Amino acid sequence: MSRLGTESAFEVLARARALEAQGREIIHLEIGEPDFETPAHIVEAGVKALQDGYTHYGPTPGLPELRQAVARNSREVRGIDTNWEQVVVTPGAKPIMFYVIMALAEAGVEVIYPNPGFPIYESMIEFCGAKAVPMRLLEDRAYHPDLTQLPGMVNERTRLLIVNSPENPCGSAFTADELETIANVVRSHPDMYVMSDEIYKDILYSGEHHSIAALPGMAERTIILDGFSKSYAMTGWRLGYGIMPEELVPHVSRLATNSVSCAASFSQIAGVAALDGPQDAVQEMAAEFGRRRRLIADGLASIPGINCPEPEGAFYAFPSIRDTGLSSADFEERAMQEAGVALLSGAAFGEFGEGYVRLSYANSQENISRALESLDAMVRGL
């Protein structure tokens, strides 16, 4: 158990709530959750599903109607010839991460993962006894990795490479050329899989989303992780999925049977409405995130000692705070206590996150502006 990490967003949120209970005003830029309501037609489909009796257990890998909708959607948006039986539905997409790493990682095996990156990757790799090999994302490359290093990181023990694009916490997104470079390395190692975490694919500020699974020979090596939390503001519905090579489906399903049994049936029917219905709300949310990105990137740039590469996707800014002289943990603490802003220490996203903090701009433009003013005053007063 001592090898298992955590996600600090939930801890910082609890500390912020405790201060609020004492009457302090805190602006929440810590949690990675869209601040929009789930679109009405999806809520209506969920309510109708409850009334229609979708209140029971369903098949472990998901209701066929949702698995088929996911396969259809993946063919449309990624151009991948997906068979619906390759889809496993889970309560949120996080269990896909848990199950896939548990299925493939063990002592003697190596897993390459992005660092700074979503903390659960490293946590799970180490929990399973495998060696976690960081793929460093570099500030001076706008948080893209130096892929010339990748061939030297892979060996006969490498079982899995994790890519996350658009990325949490850095906000970077791989180009088609970068994915091709990664695919070339993977193709030359027959025992290696890729887990492609595409949960932020709909929040991209320029260009199109590319999935590594769409490249020649890669669908049979790739587990796509995606879900409904971020694209459709459905974090509390707990609905996500993996699209994986058929040989992994029985293993991942058995892990699901041993843990959650299945995702909530009414949530799955709402998921069908989300995928098959109008996508205007998704585009409107992405456009609003785009406006907030401008606001936060410009605001951070004007604070002395702070440098922030422009986010390319997702809804996180990951500025360097090194020149303020504070550690990431001190910056997190002082931002909460002195500026009334809840944000996360970059060190919570891996060793290469020290010297940085993460701000989630899933909050109104008004609150973001107020948070920037308070942080500016705090830093100038150091």
Return the range that interacts with ligand PLP (CB under 6 A); candidates 72-80, 88-96, 246-254, 370-378.
88-96
Residue 307 CB, shortest distance to ligand PLP, in Å, is: 23
Give the residue closest to ligand PLP by C-beta. 92
Binding to ligand PLP, residues 164-203 (CB under 6 A): 164, 168, 197, 199
Q: Which is nearer to ligand PLP, 62 or 340 (CB)?
A: 62
Return the range that interacts with ligand PLP (CB under 6 A); candidates 86-94, 203-211, 302-310, 365-373.
86-94
Residue 113 CA to residue 365 CA, distance in Å, equals 33
Can you read off the two tokens belonging to residue 173?
């997104």
Residue 155 CB, shortest distance to ligand PLP, in Å, is: 26
Does residue number 240 form part of the binding site for ligand PLP (CB under 6 A)? Answer: yes
Residue 121 CB, shortest distance to ligand PLP, in Å, is: 8
Return the range that interacts with ligand PLP (CB under 6 A); candidates 91-99, 144-152, 180-188, 297-305.
91-99
The secondary structure of 175-190 as a DSSP string is -HHHHHHHHHHHHT-T
Residue 202 CA to residue 231 CA, distance in Å, equals 6
Does residue number 313 form part of the binding site for ligand PLP (CB under 6 A)? Answer: no
Preceding peptide of 39 cis, ω within 30°: no
Residue in 301, 338, 337, 333 with CA at minimum distance from that of residue 320: 301
Residue in 173, 167, 211, 220 with CA at minimum distance from that of residue 350: 167
Q: Which is nearer to ligand PLP, 92 or 171 (CB)?
A: 92
Binding to ligand PLP, residues 3-42 (CB under 6 A): 32
Residue 50 backbone phi and psi in degrees, to 5: -65, -45
**Across-strand partners of 87?**
243
Residue 358 CB, shortest distance to ligand PLP, in Å, is: 11
The secondary structure of 147-175 as a DSSP string is GGGHHHH--TTEEEEEEESS-TTT-----
The conformation of residue 349, written as its DSSP 8-state character, comes to: G
Can you read off the two tokens belonging to residue 7?
């996600």
Return the range that interacts with ligand PLP (CB under 6 A); candidates 67-75, 87-95, 283-291, 340-348.
87-95
Among 46, 227, 340, 350, binds ligand PLP (CB under 6 A): 227
What are the angstrom distances between the C-alpha of 344 and each of 102, 221, 336, 341? Answer: 27, 34, 10, 10
Does residue number 123 form part of the binding site for ligand PLP (CB under 6 A)? Answer: no
Does residue number 211 form part of the binding site for ligand PLP (CB under 6 A)? Answer: no
Residue 198 CB, shortest distance to ligand PLP, in Å, is: 9
Q: Which is nearer to ligand PLP, 205 or 228 (CB)?
A: 228
Q: Which is nearer to ligand PLP, 313 or 340 (CB)?
A: 313
Q: Where are the alpha helices (DSSP H) in the chain?
A: 8-21, 40-51, 64-78, 94-104, 119-127, 150-153, 176-187, 249-259, 265-276, 280-301, 328-334, 365-380
Does residue number 93 form part of the binding site for ligand PLP (CB under 6 A)? Answer: yes
Residues 299, 313: contact at Cβ < 8 Å? no
Return the range that interacts with ligand PLP (CB under 6 A); candidates 92-100, 294-302, 319-327, 353-361.
92-100
Distance linking the first and last C-alpha atoms of the chain: 39
Q: Which is nearer to ligand PLP, 318 or 378 (CB)?
A: 318
Q: Which is nearer to ligand PLP, 235 or 369 (CB)?
A: 235
> Which spans of this chain sit near ligand PLP (rule: CB under 6 A)?
32, 92-94, 118, 164, 168, 197, 199, 227, 229, 235, 240
